[in-house]
Chain A
Amino acid sequence: MTDHAVLAQKFVANSPRAHWHDRALWFVRAKRDLAAKSLPEWEELREHASDIKAHCVAHLADYLEEFTRNAEKLGVQVHWAKDAAEHNQIVLGILQKHRVTKIVKSKSMLTEECHLNPFLERHGMEVIDTDLGERIVQMRHEPPSHIVLPAIHIQKEEVGALFHEQLGTDEGATDPQYLVEAARKHLREKFMAAEAGITGVNFAIAETGGFVVCTNEGNCDLGVSLPPVHIACMGIEKLIPRAQDLGVFLRLLARSATGQPITTYSSHFHGPRPGCELHVVLVDNGRTEILGSDDFRRSLNCIRCGACMNTCPVYRRSGGHSYQSTVPGPIGSILAPARDAAKHESLPFACSLCGSCTDVCPVKIDLHHQLLTWRGEIARRGLLPKSKSMGMKFVSFVFQHRWLYEWSGKLARFSLRVLPRWMIYNRFNAWGRQRELPAAPRSSFRDWYRHRSKNDGGKQES
């Protein structure tokens, strides 16, 4: 897997675009701040959300059974999948049973994680992503770069060119209103032709057996209210105990995501439409492993609002695709190595440990602490690239030997002053690639302190 830093370097090479991306996300972050400030109980609300999640995890097996029982009472068919392959097979089985070839899908990070679309396409099915941003990236044959704003990396001129080529819009047209109208027409046809609808799940309720899906466009409701089959795919961590807990999460989700007070549609599904089928697929795919880890369990609190991405100085300046993970940004950099640490070893280092993600997280995940813990974990498992592990070993050795430390300090102060620039700023100095090193002082703190004590007896200078 290519290092995050290498891909990020390509992203920032186009400076105006990188700045545009940074500003677009900061704009969303600012809207989130306004929305959060509109509620005096915001911090308590986060506390409640975190408590509900902790409670639910402590009783997860019981709640999953309760959910299944209640859902089945409502006429829902509940399936369990250990991993992505089993999930895909279950979905395929349902679709084949109904001889479905045309499917509309509304946003679901889980089906992205399981690579459901290419799997169904290999079996001769057409899967249309109906969230506009997801449709745009699907037409470009690329993955989403953000979990809430899938096309945040794409400029309107590019959407215009794409739509001109594939939907026949006017050449050079870039007006978002016009482009959305064209997409509306195109996707209406897909909705009308679909034989099954697939959705994700934002929250599933143990006490009722129902679940909630949130969208702004209404694509979930159009997608599942016309065809006779609705398949809802969810990770087992999407469960909450009580219907009243939705009050907490629906207040937090949209405000944290886009600064809206609530999403336009918060649809509560309790059982199938008369004469139709409703399936829920409960998926593990590595979640029980994260659950077993005291360090990383809280990452399963995530409600996928994307606030940690919008605020992250590294995400904003490196773009979602640099992470090469379904969920990018701070939360993705915790979840991806949990799935495959060797493949995603660079992600916990794509972080300045500023802690902004932890501050905005609506469910109080200690994101930057977990990222730091992951760094240690990656070193322990021997997954660090040579450049990092050798450097760490060297520095560790120096820090353990006082004489060497003092001597190294002297050498560094001397060399930085006298060596020519090309000897200091070269390919071995990663830090100096974009920055100037600080000017070297003449003496060390230790020297200065010793000298000072002798001259004035340790009194404060005035």
Chain B
Amino acid sequence: MSSREDILEKIRRKKFPDQPLPNLSEFGIVYANRVEQFVAALKSVGGSSLRVNTLAEADQAIRDLDVHRHATKTCSLIPDIGEANVDLDAVDDPHELEDVDVAIFPGEFGVAENGAIWIDAKNVKHRVVYVIAQHIVVVLDRCALVDNMHRAYDRLSFATPGFGMFLSGPSKTADIEQSLVIGAHGPRSLTVVLVENGFSD
């Protein structure tokens, strides 16, 4: 018998008490002011945020960021945002991204309860860019905020191959005596630029 058959047979040997799956469609906390809650949650996980009105303003705000001004190598996944000099599609080996200083990319939506942002790597050639850059900047439509994780999953579908993640703050560790240190292996900072009139116009 193969191990697969062996394991399945052992499980099927016995009947277990069943339990219906919960209905989560209305479940979960709702906030009076999602933006306020999101910004506060983001701050609590070590991220910072800027609020601007248009994409053009977002571009300017990002160019003015210290991390961007001091960057040698910048990679932007949003056309006309930031001063990019690394073209991800022109890179063959992801190891070449080792010394990227700043990566700028879009967030699909944010979650008010925990400051997390859904990042979708669809059409992104090297997903390592999200974690290998020293600093990251996420541009997010202010209207694309949901209350909680249940509403977040309402928006997601995993029908096709791909990679996505909830990103909540910069990389961090507390493995040495519970002292929080920002910048473990991945980005040392996360700036979220919330755009009032986002990508739709």
Contacts and interface: CB of A to CB of B under 8 A. Distances in A.
A188 B183 CA distance: 12
A60 B11 contact: yes
B176 A176 contact: yes
A241 B153 CA distance: 14
A60 B44 CA distance: 38
A370 interface: no
A43 interface: no
B63 interface: no
Interface stretch (B50-58, B70-78, B81-89, B125-133): B125-133
A188 B185 contact: yes
Nearest to A205: B158
B114 A221 contact: no
A263 B171 CA distance: 10
Contacts of B98: 188, 192
B107 interface: no
Nearest to A20: B177
A272 B127 CA distance: 12
B18 interface: yes
Interface in B168-196: 168-179, 181, 183-187
Nearest to A216: B172
A7 interface: no
Given A61-B11, A261-B115, A176 B163 contact: no
B100 interface: no
Interface string A15-39: 0000000001001100000000001
Which of B22, B113, B184 is packed against the most chain A CB atoms within 10 Å? B184
A60 B12 CA distance: 8
B183 A184 contact: yes
Interface in B1-55: 2-4, 6-8, 10-22, 24, 27-29, 41, 44-45
Interface stretch (A79-87, A336-344, A380-388): A79-87
B185 A191 contact: yes
B13 to A, nearest CB: 7
Given A151-B175, A264-B170, A44 B185 contact: no
Contacts of A2: none
B144 interface: no
A165 interface: no
Contacts of B179: 156, 176-177
Given A61-B12, A176-B179, A184-B184, A80 B4 contact: yes
Interface string A288-323: 110110000100000000000000000000000000
Interface string A432-444: 0000000000000
B167 interface: yes
A28 B174 CA distance: 11
A74 interface: yes
A159 B131 contact: no
Contact of B2 (A48, A80, A149): A80
Contacts of A188: 98, 185
A221 B130 contact: yes
Interface residues of B, dominant DSSP: loop
Interface in A257-275: 258, 260-273
Interface in B124-175: 126-128, 130-132, 148-150, 152-154, 156, 158-175
B8 A149 contact: no
B134 to A, nearest CB: 10
A172 interface: no
Given A242-B21, A266-B116, A247 B163 contact: no
A121 interface: no
B178 A27 contact: yes
A43 B170 CA distance: 30
A391 interface: no
B92 to A, nearest CB: 11
A72 B184 CA distance: 34
Contacts of A219: 184-185
B95 interface: yes
Contacts of A58: 15-19
A242 B27 CA distance: 16
B158 A270 contact: yes
A155 B175 CA distance: 10
A212 to B, nearest CB: 9
Nearest to A180: B181
Contacts of A273: 127, 163
Interface string A156-173: 100100000000000000
A156 B175 CA distance: 10
A48 B26 CA distance: 13
Contacts of B19: 51, 54-55, 58
Contacts of B160: 270
A288 B152 CA distance: 34
B181 A216 contact: no
Which of A181, A219, A247 is packed against the most chain B CB atoms within 10 Å? A247
Interface string A201-243: 0000100101000001111011001100000000010000111
Given A210-B158, A216-B184, A270-B162, A264 B167 contact: yes
B161 A270 contact: yes
Contacts of A177: 179, 181
* 5 cross-chain pairs, A with B, having the tightest CB-CB distances, nearest first: A218-B186, A271-B161, A261-B114, A133-B175, A217-B184
Given A82-B7, A241-B21, A270-B163, 5 more contacts: A225-B127, A225-B132, A263-B168, A264-B170, A265-B167
22 contacts: A60-B11, A64-B11, A86-B3, A177-B181, A180-B173, A180-B181, A184-B184, A208-B158, A216-B174, A221-B130, A221-B186, A225-B94, A226-B128, A242-B21, A244-B24, A250-B166, A261-B44, A261-B116, A262-B166, A265-B167, A265-B186, A288-B11
